[in-house]
Amino acid sequence: MSLDARYDTNGFDGRPSHTGGVLVVADRIREAVETVIEGKPEVVRMALTVLLAEGHLLIEDIPGVGKTMLAKALGRAVDCSVQRVQFTPDLLPSDITGVSVYHQERQEFEFNPGPVFANIVLGDEINRASPKTQSALLECMEEMQVSVDGETRSLERPFMVIATQNPTDMEGTYPLPEAQRDRFMARIAVGYPTPQAELDMIDTHGALSPLDGLAPVADTAEIRAMVAHVQTIHVAPGIRRYAVDLVAATRTAPELRLGASPRATLHLVRAARAYAALEGRAYVVPDDIQALAVPVLAHRLLLSPEAHMERRTTEHIVSDLVARMPIPGPR
């Protein structure tokens, strides 16, 4: 019996009829996005993982490495509504959620929906707006709804917020509040391209934007079907305990003054289901949890003053915890 097969229990054979369909559509989206984002397959894979897990993605990196391009490419690859919000210091919460306008002729208020009423919402440079404006996304991201003037309006599925932010040591930035960071399922960095990818970029991006030739390769119905399949991916009891123990370890680590929340545990398991589906499996294995631990957990943690002085990072601490955590058995 293979190592992975030990976690394939309760009648799951690892190759349900829907798994092939998920891979076919996911590969189409991945290939389309990679025509724009060259040489970053793991970054594209993580974006797809978060989409299928019904989460939200935070992309943090320096300007000019393709953060916004990644979000736009994913929105173009799926035939769905996409809205972009440029976060600036003078942006108001109503600029995101919408506002009710009074019509004198009809003598009634009419709600004008904001950009959050879209399937994919790109929040560009989210940490250049004030915390008050950033918090306008909290209800949308957690509860898939918007409350304005005492009325609650539901958002259409799929709904995903892709936010980009510059490092907080750059000018004109506000740190994201802890509650806001905790709503993002994962945080990734694009990073610099390889020299060859940068050479290719000169040819492909020199005259026209590669987004101009990017046509949709999937629609919202296919995404909803893929999300529904991901929710059926099996998570063995041992894997569940592994995820819980790993998150709990962040709460007692001496290098951290704030550990991960129970929401982080849920996000870790949901992301692991999507990650397994993209591997063609109907069950989660420890490798899925380990691969996702840093992007799902690190951005939620706060370092202790001593760890700051030692120039530790939350990514290093999560990696150390993963290395020390015993691998679970199949049950």
In this structure, what DSSP letter does residue 77 have? H
Q: What was the pLDDT predicted at 15? A: 41
Domain boundaries, the chain: 15-91+118-146+154-231, 233-330
Taking a C-beta distance cutoff of 8 angstroms, is the pair 256, 304 a contact? yes
Provide the pLDDT confidence category of residue 17 given band limits of 50, 70 and 90. very low
Tokens of 254: 């001496």
Tokens of 326: 């015993």
Q: Which three-class secondary structure state does DSSP give residue 155?
A: coil
- Least confident span in 86-90, 130-134, 140-144, 311-315: 130-134
What helix, strand, coil percent values describe the chain, rounded to 5? 50, 15, 35
Q: What was the pLDDT predicted at 258? A: 93
**Residues 134-193: pLDDT tens digits?**
878 888 898 899 988 778 899 999 999 999 887 765 555 677 888 889 999 999 988 887
Over residues 285-297, the mean pLDDT reads 97
The fold for domain 233-330 equals: Helicase, Ruva Protein; domain 3 (1.10.8)
The CA distance from 159 to 149, in Å, is 22
Tell me which of 295 and 64 has the higher pLDDT: 295
Phi and psi, residue 165, nearest 5°: -145, 150
Q: What is the DSSP string of 15-52?
A: --HHHHHHHHHHHHHHHHHHTTSTT-HHHHHHHHHHHH
Sheet arrangement for strand 120-124: 82-86, 120-124, 160-165, 57-60, 186-188
Cβ atoms within 10 Å, residue 82: 19
Domain 15-91+118-146+154-231 shares a fold with domain 233-330? no
On the question of pLDDT at 207 being above 80, the answer is no
Phi and psi, residue 109, nearest 5°: -90, 145
For 15-91+118-146+154-231, CATH number out of 3.40.50.300, 1.20.1440.130, 3.40.50.20, 3.40.30.10 equals: 3.40.50.300
Over residues 116-141, the mean pLDDT reads 86
Over residues 226-249, the mean pLDDT reads 96
**Residues 217-226: pLDDT tens digits?**
999 999 999 9
- Least confident span in 100-114, 159-173, 273-287, 315-329: 159-173
Q: What percent of the chain has pLDDT over 90?
A: 53
On the question of pLDDT at 251 being above 70, the answer is yes
Amino acid at 302: L
Could you tell me which residues are beta bridge partners of residue 59?
A: 164, 188
Q: What was the pLDDT predicted at 203? A: 73
Could you tell me which residues are beta bridge partners of residue 147?
A: 152
